[in-house]
């Protein structure tokens, strides 16, 4: 054990924490700020945009960052001022922590140190000597991306197959089948939308009664303490499970199994496979297309490539026009959002 390591005192800490862990993050920021190429992107001025094209186009961005000197965004951890292409480049992403224990980490012990330090940088900031002079850098958490199981952990909600577990509305949800594992939320136009304040009140009620309240568990999520963070608007939709493994797989199942419907195309699957397998994607796209008969074995990545790249040229002229046009809207909409 090194001399600078000590027990953090957190009730969920399973071992020894490094109190200087955040200083490594600051050191990484300092190294990046010494890079002229990084600074030239970071300090660029954004023109007003009439189209939604990036995180900088959204209302949350305008609300948080208007009339503020200069902000970084640490999440896991990219910077929102960088171009989308550079934002998720490995050389510009700061790794906050690694978990090397069996099972999942206790979320409070894992995130509390980061949230506390983001709070300090949000209110006070830190001065750095950069290639373009002294700059005061601040941090704010503006977006969290996660899959459905991780969402339940981060927001301290019931699991995704429970009652009232949608993090955007209060619909109790309905299940399919005897095992009650498949949850869906039919839209009826009268759904009550979740709000950040109402979720905080649900946590207070759940904690007071020691039982779940409208999907919230009697545990306080560390994200509540993040300055300016909205647990509804700043949590991204999990399109991997919802779209790729959900809607896209369900559509393939309908098209290839429901013989009595007008959209049934399994009788043309040999022709469809010939089209699909004739596609020669660039080497950066992996894996290459597999036959449609194997769609049950396709992983989320393969379903994503099918949605964005293969499906429209393969289905054109085979799927009836009404369904093809409707499906095209799904492809275009998802492509714009992703």
What is the per-residue pLDDT across 315-328, written as a single tens digit (0 to 9) for each? 999 999 999 999 99
Torsion of CA 307, 308, 312, 315, to 10 degrees: -30
Q: How far apart are the first and last CA of the chain?
A: 44
- Tell me if 301 is assigned to some domain: yes
| Averaged pLDDT for residues 213-221 | 92
Model confidence band, residue 54 (pLDDT cutoffs 50, 70, 90) = low
User: In this model, does residue 236 exceed pLDDT 90?
Assistant: no
Of 225, 253, 268, the one marking the end of a domain is 225
- Tell me if 10 is assigned to some domain: no
- Tell me if 45 is assigned to some domain: yes
Q: How confident is the model at residue 254, as a pLDDT?
A: 93
| Assigned token pair, 134 | 């002294």
User: In this model, does residue 269 exceed pLDDT 50?
Assistant: yes
Percentage of residues in the chain having pLDDT higher than 70: 75
- State the Cα–Cα distance between residues 18 and 8, nearest whole angstrom: 8
The tally of CA atoms less than 13 A away on the side-chain side of residue 99 is 12
The DSSP symbol for 299 reads -
166 and 125 both lie in a single domain: no
User: In this model, does residue 197 exceed pLDDT 70?
Assistant: yes
pTM, whole model, 2 decimals?
A: 0.69
243 and 152 both lie in a single domain: no
65 and 85 both lie in a single domain: yes
Q: How confident is the model at residue 270, as a pLDDT?
A: 93
User: In this model, does residue 98 exceed pLDDT 60?
Assistant: yes
Of 225, 252, 280, the one marking the end of a domain is 225
- State the Cα–Cα distance between residues 27 and 38, nearest whole angstrom: 15
111 and 177 both lie in a single domain: no
On whether the CB atoms of residues 42 and 81 are closer than 8 A, the answer is: yes
Instruction: List, edge to edge, every strand of the sheet that includes 133-139.
Output: 71-72, 133-139, 126-130
- Tell me if 65 is assigned to some domain: yes
The position carrying tokens 């969402």 is 151
User: In this model, does residue 251 exceed pLDDT 80?
Assistant: yes
Q: Name the average pLDDT for the chain.
A: 78
Give the total number of structural domains in the chain. Answer: 3
On whether the CB atoms of residues 3 and 99 are closer than 8 A, the answer is: no
- State the Cα–Cα distance between residues 95 and 88, nearest whole angstrom: 12
- Tell me if 7 is assigned to some domain: no
Q: How confident is the model at residue 11, as a pLDDT?
A: 56
> Of 41-50, 163-172, 182-191, which has the strongest mean pLDDT?
163-172
Higher per-residue pLDDT: 225 or 146? 225
Distance set, CA 286 to CA 74, 252, 275, 282 (Å): 30, 20, 18, 8
Per-residue b or e along 47-67, where b marks 16 or more CB atoms closer than 10 Å to that residue's CB: eeeeeeeebeeeeebeebbee
User: In this model, does residue 175 exceed pLDDT 60?
Assistant: yes
Instruction: Give the domain extent around 166.
Output: 148-225
Distance set, CA 233 to CA 116, 229, 248, 330 (Å): 21, 8, 25, 22
63 and 158 both lie in a single domain: no
On whether the CB atoms of residues 118 and 226 are closer than 8 A, the answer is: yes
Q: Note the pLDDT tens digit of each residue in 125-169.
A: 777 776 667 777 777 787 888 787 888 888 999 887 788 888 888
| Averaged pLDDT for residues 88-96 | 73
Q: How confident is the model at residue 93, as a pLDDT?
A: 74
User: In this model, does residue 14 exceed pLDDT 80?
Assistant: no
65 and 48 both lie in a single domain: yes
297 and 247 both lie in a single domain: yes
| Averaged pLDDT for residues 96-117 | 77
- Tell me if 206 is assigned to some domain: yes
The position carrying tokens 């700061």 is 94
Q: Are strands 126-130 and 133-139 parallel, antiparallel or unpaired?
A: antiparallel
Of 101, 119, 139, the one marking the end of a domain is 139
Distance set, CA 296 to CA 241, 250, 292, 303 (Å): 14, 10, 9, 10
Per-residue b or e along 14-25, where b marks 16 or more CB atoms closer than 10 Å to that residue's CB: eeebeeeebeeb
Q: Of all helices (H) and strands (E), which one includes residue 84?
A: helix 84-87
182 and 276 both lie in a single domain: no
- Tell me if 5 is assigned to some domain: no
- Tell me if 4 is assigned to some domain: no
3 state SS of 270: helix
The DSSP symbol for 134 reads E
User: In this model, does residue 51 exceed pLDDT 70?
Assistant: no
Model confidence band, residue 78 (pLDDT cutoffs 50, 70, 90) = very low
| Averaged pLDDT for residues 186-192 | 81
Q: How confident is the model at residue 67, as a pLDDT?
A: 40
Count of residues making up the chain: 338
163 and 120 both lie in a single domain: no
Least confident of 57-61, 279-283, 297-301: 57-61
Torsion of CA 90, 72, 198, 107, to 10 degrees: 50
66 and 95 both lie in a single domain: yes
31 and 114 both lie in a single domain: yes
108 and 155 both lie in a single domain: no
């Amino acid at each position: 054990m090194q001399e600078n390591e000590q027990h953090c005192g957190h009730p969920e800490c399973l071992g020894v924490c490094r109190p200087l862990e955040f200083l490594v993050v600051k050191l990484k920021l300092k190294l990046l700020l010494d890079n002229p190429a990084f600074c030239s992107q970071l300090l660029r001025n954004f023109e007003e945009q009439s189209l939604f094209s990036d995180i900088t186009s959204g209302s949350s961005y305008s609300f948080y960052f208007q009339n503020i000197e200069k902000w970084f965004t640490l999440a896991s951890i990219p910077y929102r001022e960088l171009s989308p292409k550079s934002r998720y480049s490995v050389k510009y992403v700061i790794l906050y922590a690694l978990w090397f224990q069996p099972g999942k980490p206790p979320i409070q012990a894992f995130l509390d140190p980061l949230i506390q330090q983001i709070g300090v940088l949000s209110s006070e900031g830190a001065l750095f000597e950069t290639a373009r002079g002294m700059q005061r850098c601040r941090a704010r958490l503006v977006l969290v991306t996660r899959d459905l199981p991780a969402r339940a952990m981060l927001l301290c909600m019931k699991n995704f197959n429970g009652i009232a577990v949608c993090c955007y509305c209060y619909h109790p949800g309905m299940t399919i089948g005897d095992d009650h594992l498949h949850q869906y939320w039919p839209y009826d136009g009268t759904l009550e939308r979740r709000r950040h304040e109402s979720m905080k009140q649900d946590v207070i009620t759940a904690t007071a009664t020691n039982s779940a309240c409208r999907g919230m568990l009697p545990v306080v999520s560390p994200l509540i303490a993040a300055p300016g963070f909205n647990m509804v608007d700043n949590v991204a939709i999990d399109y991997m499970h919802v779209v790729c493994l959900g809607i896209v797989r369900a559509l393939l199942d309908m098209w290839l199994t429901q013989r009595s419907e007008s959209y049934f195309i399994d009788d043309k699957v040999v022709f469809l496979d010939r089209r699909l397998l004739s596609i020669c994607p660039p080497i950066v796209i992996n894996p290459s297309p597999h036959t449609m008969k194997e769609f049950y074995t396709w992983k989320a990545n393969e379903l994503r490539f099918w949605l964005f790249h293969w499906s429209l040229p393969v289905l054109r002229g085979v799927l009836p026009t009404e369904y093809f046009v409707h499906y095209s809207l799904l492809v275009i909409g998802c492509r714009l959002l992703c």
